[in-house]
Amino acid sequence: MADALRVGIAGLGTVGASVARVLAEKSAELTRQCGRPISVTAVSARDASKDRGVDLSGSTWFVDPVKLAAYAEIDVFVELIGGDEGPAKASVKAALEAGRHVVTANKALLAKHGVALAEIAEKNGVLLNYEAAVAGGIPVIKTMREALAGNSVSRVFGILNGTCNYILTRMEAEGLSFEACLADAQRLGYAEADPTFDIEGNDTAHKLSILTALAFGTKIAASDIYLEGISNISQADIQAAADLGYRIKLLGVAQRTESGIEQRVHPTMVPTASVIAQVHGVTNAVAIETDILGELLLSGPGAGGNATASAVVGDIADIAKSRPGFQHGPVFGWPAKQLKPYKKAQMRSHAGGYFIRLSVQDRTGVFAAIAKRMADNDISLESIVQRSTEAKDRKTVILVTHETTEAAVRKATDGITKDGHLIDKPQVIRIERAA
């Protein structure tokens, strides 16, 4: 049997402790599957005395993760610190430069420095594995890097943030406000004390940028993603969507177009009968559209200690199965130096059109003015519904358009606003064809 694979873990929070525990509890199974033992040789954390529910007394302790990364007695450096700079970046870079394989769950680090780190890994002939960085326990990275060899991807999209999906699920199921659902998510530990990164779409954007690089061979460009969060979604939107046969989800979407690669994160209406509309709570889902296989949908736990630890352990096991002299595949499917510069596409027309909700003054001529603005911008309407509200001086107008462009919709709603008929800001939600 081959010598043990020696692992160093930096960061012993919920995920790091779970990884150490799984490696200990599943030692026999992993040895059988990998053909060699896996041992946690060293760890890095600030407090060595803290009870983490796993015996780490046989491991060498480091306060500085950079020193752990350069430690000669490890073969694999596992980074579970978090953050896109500081100790996380410095330790991963040091490990790769020292010829150590790296496993990370750090989406923010990869979204900002992934290409540069991939170049170091490929130069030194070591692996940089990151399954846990996108969609938790769902094996989407392995699927895109390995299982879809030969396929050309045209679109990848999905529910990539459990916090947002939990909030939207509760809003629909229980008729609660966004604020009430967010507060409950925080109480249950599904949302941070400062939830901005999740609810405004930034977390989803980081994950999407990594999937985009894998799908289309472009450099990671998280800062070029069109971004909208869910904080402006109201019960009026949830109820109108249901009446029209849709459900609202926060989706990350990347697709190839004639003008470049389009990346966007925003609330989206998907048909209630679609598979992705049935993904509830903190569950994640990723759909991949290809020329050979067709459409593939992967769904499962997107966060949490066990889900993330499972992905990390899977990455470690893959390294344990590899042998000296084996030529590793590129980190992002293409050699890092061959990744193309990201060419941002114009926001294009979307199959299924747009949902537009307008709160308007209840007076003569409003309907006609709205219809004229739509016609002036070549927007064809699938339906237009007027609803009374509790307030006698206002009405709600709901429009569903046929396929049209982002620019046309924005120009039309700007025109309606200038006409002086609106009471509140227009609500515009894209309607997406979905798995």
Residues 95 and 168 in one domain: no
E strand spans, 281-411: 283-290, 295-301, 354-361, 381-388, 394-401
Structural domains of the chain, count: 3
> pLDDT category, 342, cuts 50, 70, 90?
confident
Is there a domain that residue 74 lies in?
Answer: yes
Residues 180 and 45 in one domain: no
Over the stretch 129-170, which tens digit does the pLDDT of each residue have?
999 999 988 999 999 999 998 999 999 999 999 999 999 999
Q: Give the active site residue among 112, 207, 249, 395.
A: 207
DSSP 131: G
Average pLDDT on 362-377 reads 89
Last residue of a domain, one of 301, 321, 344: 301
Is there a domain that residue 341 lies in?
Answer: no
pLDDT at 188: 83
Is there a domain that residue 346 lies in?
Answer: no
DSSP 63: S
Q: What are the start-end ranges of the H helices in 139-283?
A: 140-142, 162-174, 178-188, 196-199, 202-216, 235-243
Pairing of strands 354-361, 226-227: unpaired
Q: Which domain holds residue 412?
A: 354-431
pTM above 0.85, yes or no: yes
Look at residue 415 and tell me whether its pLDDT is greater than 60: yes
Higher per-residue pLDDT: 2 or 116: 116
Is there a domain that residue 403 lies in?
Answer: yes
Active-site residue flag, 123: no
pLDDT at 213: 96
Please state at what angle helix 14-25 crosses helix 305-321, rounded to 10 degrees.
Answer: 50
Contact (CB, 8 A) for 230 and 250: yes
Residues 180 and 63 in one domain: no
> pLDDT category, 47, cuts 50, 70, 90?
confident
> pLDDT category, 259, cuts 50, 70, 90?
confident
Beta carbons within 8 Å of 32's beta carbon, 6+ residues apart:
none
Is there a domain that residue 345 lies in?
Answer: no
Q: What is the mean pLDDT of the chain?
A: 91
pLDDT at 8: 98
Higher per-residue pLDDT: 117 or 404: 117
Is there a domain that residue 414 lies in?
Answer: yes
CATH code of the domain containing 232: 3.30.360.10
Contact (CB, 8 A) for 397 and 360: yes
Residues 405 and 318 in one domain: no
Instruction: State how far the Cα of 280 lies from the Cα of 277, in Å rounded to an integer.
Output: 8
pLDDT at 34: 94
Is there a domain that residue 91 lies in?
Answer: yes
Contact (CB, 8 A) for 246 and 272: yes
> pLDDT category, 348, cuts 50, 70, 90?
low
> pLDDT category, 366, cuts 50, 70, 90?
confident
Could you give the percent of the chain with pLDDT greater than 70?
A: 96
Over the stretch 216-248, which tens digit does the pLDDT of each residue have?
999 999 988 999 999 999 999 999 999 999 999
CATH code of the domain containing 415: 3.30.70.260
Average pLDDT on 191-202 reads 91
DSSP 147: I
Q: How far apart are the first and last CA of the chain?
A: 45
Residues 61 and 117 in one domain: yes
